[in-house]
Chain A
Amino acid sequence: MTSAPALVVDNLRKTYGNGVEALKGISLTVQPGDFFALLGPNGAGKSTLIGILSSLVNSSGGDARVFGVSVNRQRGEAMKLIGLVPQEINFNQFEKPFDICVNQAGFYGIPRRIAAERAEKYLNELRLWDKAQDQARMLSGGMKRRLMIARAMMNEPRLLILDEPTAGVDIEVRRSMWQFVNAINAAGTTVILTTHYLEEAESLCRNIAIIDHGSIIENTSMKRLLATLDVETFVLDVAAMPAELPQLPGVTLRRTDEHTLEAEMARSHDLNSLFAALSAHGIMVTSMRNKTNRLEELFVRLVEHGRNDPARNGQEQAA
């Protein structure tokens, strides 16, 4: 086993034929065994990056190395190390899940007997074995997503790339998918995840890169990123709404409806003093929750900050 990083992206660039510059020379490193989040708004360049890594998109410059193997110069060897779960359903809907998995293994040169054993293993683990001989088009949306994970595991990749794997999937299926991927990661497979469900990224991933307009705007550990968040917003359900909201030091109160308030406050502000102040003004809180998860707030802030950055905007206009 090599000690090379699981992924090194080195000054990777992509300009499409219509002139759109999807990647502007990005670089990042993912260590072996990591569970890495790649986040960004729609059109940021995430799928282009994943497309280049999986050789579905030709890069315009730079290189990527998977466990030290160049995607550009040793494509075949690099592809043996990668498993891809794409954003959109991309299997033949008229084939059976078992055949889809066994054929995928065949494309990697895995003999049919071994492929059949693996197909049974992964379809079982993803709770699809009872559907193995049905036509794939008959599967539900969640089952189709799980089938794509099973298919991506057929070559037992050292780097598993999941491009929005839980889009449109119900919570129970999402949890079972994450249970599976967590187990795969614990067994040593490096995982790169893109998702719009930021609570998923927050709870699963150890390191994170945020990409916007083809550039990496943040690349750090999840802990370090979350530690930079200094403001939180709570949603408070109240028994009765006062006619006028009180002015509380260090807290901004907003009324959202007859029984709900939002309280935005510094993370250092203690909740006891908030409740005491609300009680003093006759406001009884019946329940409380975070308005958004912490990563979501940071994500929005980083992306908006990037868009308001005059230097970057100037570059984009010039491009």
Chain B
Amino acid sequence: MSNAATNLVALHTIVRREIVRIMRIWTQTLIPPAITMTLYFVIFGKLIGSRIGAIEGGFTYMQYIVPGLVMMSIITNSYGNISSSFFGAKFQRSVEEMLVSPMPNWVILLGYVAGAVARGLVVGVLVLLIALFFTSLHVVHPVITFLSVLLGATIFSLAGFVNAVYAKKFDDIALVPTFVLTPLTYLGGVFYSVNMLGEPWQAISRVNPILYMVNAFRFGVLGISDVGIGTAFVVMLAFVTGLSVLALQLLKRGVGLRS
């Protein structure tokens, strides 16, 4: 077998194993985000949103927050999937099964990222379907919608991987989502337009990467955005590149994996 065919089998093995894991514990991986987002739709979209009235572009508040909430669930689930799965493999030492194999590092990384992105996409679709019970949506730019979801999920899968590599105990993989991911998500324009903020908060918001993901996705779905769509994709691609290089370097050096 050629190296490419060998690597493809290895990649398929990791992705398949990750998807089997997601489906095996579906009550932990798929149901909780669906319930959480349903509550968001009911409370923020329906109850509070009905009193807010139309927001940017003539959209109802419910319509406005749907893209942000979908992206939020994609981000948190991609991140959570890879950080818990890879750290779990480290904790049980089953990661050694991969480390002693001839598989190159990029296959390990790509396999885990693909698994995490798959969970993010499945959860995103679930949340979107739930949203359709509360409001109607017409996707304006399907390609931009898909690419923004893919890049957003990839960025946070890579970030989750880096977190898992450094983590020494389970608490370490909970720290980042609690103290970094959640605040950035809430401040990333999920529930409001950053144009509503005064300076310096508007300028500060623009260094938050989640702002670009949420707005790229919102542009794809609704056709409105607080940031330039080109800028959003440049920022997302830069994060994908930077985090990929970092993750591969960590694997090459064996940080947290090889003595």
Interface core residue of B10, B17, B259 (most chain A CB under 10 Å): B259
- Contact A104:B101 (CB < 8 A) given known A91-B92, A109-B7, A111-B9: yes
Verify if A55 is at the interface (C-beta below 8 Å from B).
Answer: yes
Give the size category of B's interface with A. 20 to 34
Question: Is A103 part of the binding interface, using a Cβ–Cβ cutoff of 8 Å?
Answer: yes
A101 to B89, CA, bound (A): 16
Roughly how many angstroms separate A100 CA and B99 CA in the complex, as a whole number?
15
B96 CB-CB contact with A under 8 Å: yes
- Is B169 positioned at the interface, with any CB of A under 8 Å from its CB? no
- A58-B254, A109-B6, A109-B102 as given contacts; A104 in contact with B97, CB under 8 Å: yes
Residue-wise interface mask of A (70-107) relative to B, using a CB-CB cutoff of 8 A (1 in contact, 0 not): 00000111011010101011111110000110011011
Identify which of A51, A90, A93, A108 contacts B10 (C-beta below 8 A): A108
B13 touches A106 (CB 8 A): yes
| A110 proximal to B (CB < 8 A) | yes
Q: Which of B13, B92, B100 contacts A54 (CB 8 A)?
A: B100
Is A197's CB within 8 Å of the partner chain B? Answer: no
State the main secondary structure of chain B at its contact with A.
helix
Among B97, B103, B258, find the residue whose CB has the most chain A CB atoms closer than 10 A. B97
State the interface size on chain A (CB cutoff 8 A): 36
Which of A58, A80, A84, A89 interacts with B102 by CB under 8 Å? A80
For residue A19, give the distance in angstroms from its CB to the closest CB of chain B. 14
Known contacts A57-B259, A58-B254, A76-B102: A106-B12 contact under CB 8 Å: yes
A275 within 8 A of B: no
Which residue on chain A has the smallest CB distance to residue B107? A107
Q: Are A103 and B100 in contact (CB under 8 A)?
A: no
Residues of chain A within 8 A (CB-CB) of B259 are 16, 48, 51, 56-58
Residue B51, interface by CB 8 Å: no
Residues of chain A having any CB pair with chain B under 8 Å? 16, 48, 51, 54-58, 75-77, 79-80, 82, 84, 86, 88-94, 99-100, 103-104, 106-112, 151, 155
Can you identify 27 A-B contacts, CB atoms within 8 angstroms?
A: A55-B99, A55-B258, A56-B96, A56-B258, A58-B254, A75-B102, A80-B102, A84-B100, A86-B93, A90-B92, A90-B96, A91-B94, A92-B88, A104-B97, A106-B10, A107-B10, A107-B13, A108-B103, A109-B5, A109-B6, A109-B7, A109-B9, A109-B10, A109-B103, A111-B9, A112-B9, A155-B101
Extra 16 A-B pairs, beta carbons < 8 Å, given A75-B102, A108-B6, A109-B1: A16-B259, A51-B259, A55-B99, A55-B258, A58-B258, A77-B102, A82-B100, A88-B93, A99-B17, A99-B20, A104-B101, A106-B12, A106-B13, A106-B16, A107-B14, A109-B102
Closest 10 CB pairs of A and B: A106-B13, A109-B6, A107-B101, A90-B93, A76-B102, A79-B102, A92-B94, A57-B259, A109-B9, A54-B100
